[in-house]
Every structure is written in C-alpha cells, then in structure tokens.
A = this chain, B = another copy of it.
Amino acid sequence: MEKLKSHKTFNGKTEFWSHDSHVTKTKMKFSTFIPEGEIQGAIIWLSGLTCTDENFITKAGAQRVLSKNKLMVICPDTSPRGLDLPDEHTSYDFGSGAGFYLNATTDGYKDHYKMYDYINDELYKIIQNEFKVQNIAISGHSMGGHGALVIGLKNPTKYKSISAFSPITHPTTIPWGEKAFKGYLGEDKSTWIAWDSCELLKAGKTHAAEILVHQGLSDEFLENQLKPRDLENTAKEVGQKLKLNLVEGFDHSYYFIQSFIEEHIDHHSKYLKG
C-alpha cells in the first residue's frame, strides 16, 4: 500500500492510497479518513456512476461527523482502471467508473471486474489487517447504494449495518442495471438476481439491523432508475426493517448527501459501537 497524499482534517487525517489488487489484477485507489485515537469502527462508502475515490471524501462533509463518532471511512474507486477492455470506456454507465459492485463473468471483464470480491474480501481485510478495525458497516450512493445493499444483504454478519443514499434498488428492472448486468453477466437473467437487493430480500437475504435510506424526491432518476418503493414494498413483504426517508426538494447530488450524512454516520455509529 502506498500513501499518495495526507491532509490533516478536524482531529484526524484524510488520506489517498494506491495498492496492487490481487482481485482486480490492477492498481486500485481508495481514500480514507482516520480520526485520532482509538477507532470505534469503519464505514465502507461506495460511490456512484462516474465517481472515483475522491468524490465522497471531498464533497460529503463527513469528516466532522466521523471525528465526533471516532469512526473511519474508506472509499474505494468505482471500477478497475488502466485496462482497455471492449466497450470499457465508451459510456458513463458501463465499464470504467461503473463497476456495479458485482463479479463479472463475461469474457475480458471476468478477469478484472470483480468489484464484489474486491470490496467484500480484499478491502475488508485491508480494514482489519492494515487499519486494525474489526467492526465494519457499509453505505453508498446510487450505484454505490445498490452495492451497499447487495453486499450487506449477502453478508449480514460481516457488516454491522447498511445505509444508502438514492440507491438503485431493483437493477434487474431498470435501464442502468439491464445494460450493466448484460455486459458483466451475459444474457441469462437468472444470474442477475444474485446482484439485485429486491431479489435478494425475496430470496430470504435480510439484515438484523434497520436499513437507513434517504431518497430525494426531486431526483431526476427517481422513477426510471432508482425505484425506492420497490425496496419499501419488498422489505415490508419479507419483514426487513427499513427506514426510507423520501425527502422533498432534494436531488441526486452531493449537496443532498452532505445534508443527511450526519444521520447516516450516527446510524452506523450506533451499530458499530453497540
């Protein structure tokens, strides 16, 4: 692991890292905020389409609240980089910047686009072994909200709590998901449901902690791509505790995230320390 940059922030440090991933077989970057003193837990933050390891740590205003709660955050990049796979760089919603937090099975992609294993195995172990933090929660935005829900529901004991901002809740039924899953998983839709939080809930994958979700009602992707009501209805059907906050006037941007990040970090803090 190589530390690229370090900036004192509140009572801790915002840092940028690079390492050789044995999962993606590429260099991978991530950012962290580490508060001073004993760390009570870690939140993995998964970003959305087109983002990198920089968006959250720069724009979310999280460091103040992480400081207060003695929590660290770790923000991985949204895909492998430095490759040149077929169609990898031709659109914003597939390939680079759009890894969708799954394990690809299609030719070319299956060798590198294993963002699920990267987060759930490699990054998880980095938190435990390099940063010496054992209690871990997961959160994210949009495509990263999908990632947080899917990874958290598939591994309910590894993650103390799950939250999401404007998550893609039902990717097998919306344009972003259909395009990505076809490209990463192929035409057989029976393989897609393992990466869809609504389908995972229906298959009995639940989490003991209440899942916290915020969704802006002025989000341009609300009905077409995100479908918070699908998550709400499915959670109700299967008895998954969910607090879905549909908030008037807010859009899909980091201005929305900074407005509610304190609620999310406080939510995770309760489970990470409890």
Contacts and interface: CB of A to CB of B under 8 A. Distances in A.
Interface of A: 7-10, 14, 58-59, 61, 63-64, 216, 218, 249-251, 253-256, 258-259
A59 B258 CA distance: 10
Contacts of A249: 8
Contacts of A259: 8-10, 63-64
B64 A258 contact: yes
Contacts of A251: 7-8
Contacts of A9: 255-256, 258-259
Nearest to A6: B251
A39 B255 CA distance: 20
Given A255-B8, A258-B9, A61 B64 contact: yes
Given A8-B218, A8-B259, 7 more contacts: A7-B251, A7-B256, A8-B216, A8-B249, A9-B255, A58-B254, A63-B258
Nearest to A7: B255
A205 B253 CA distance: 43
Nearest to A10: B259
A73 to B, nearest CB: 14
Contacts of A253: 7
A254 B57 CA distance: 11
Contacts of A216: 8
Contacts of A64: 61, 258-259
30 contacts: A7-B251, A7-B253, A7-B255, A7-B256, A8-B216, A8-B218, A8-B249, A8-B250, A8-B251, A8-B255, A8-B256, A8-B259, A9-B255, A9-B256, A9-B258, A10-B258, A10-B259, A14-B255, A58-B58, A58-B59, A58-B254, A59-B59, A61-B61, A61-B64, A61-B258, A63-B255, A63-B258, A63-B259, A64-B258, A64-B259
A251 B218 CA distance: 37
A10 B249 CA distance: 10
A138 to B, nearest CB: 23
A259 B253 CA distance: 22
A70 B156 CA distance: 42
A237 B254 CA distance: 45
Contacts of A10: 258-259
Nearest to A64: B61
A38 to B, nearest CB: 19
A229 to B, nearest CB: 21
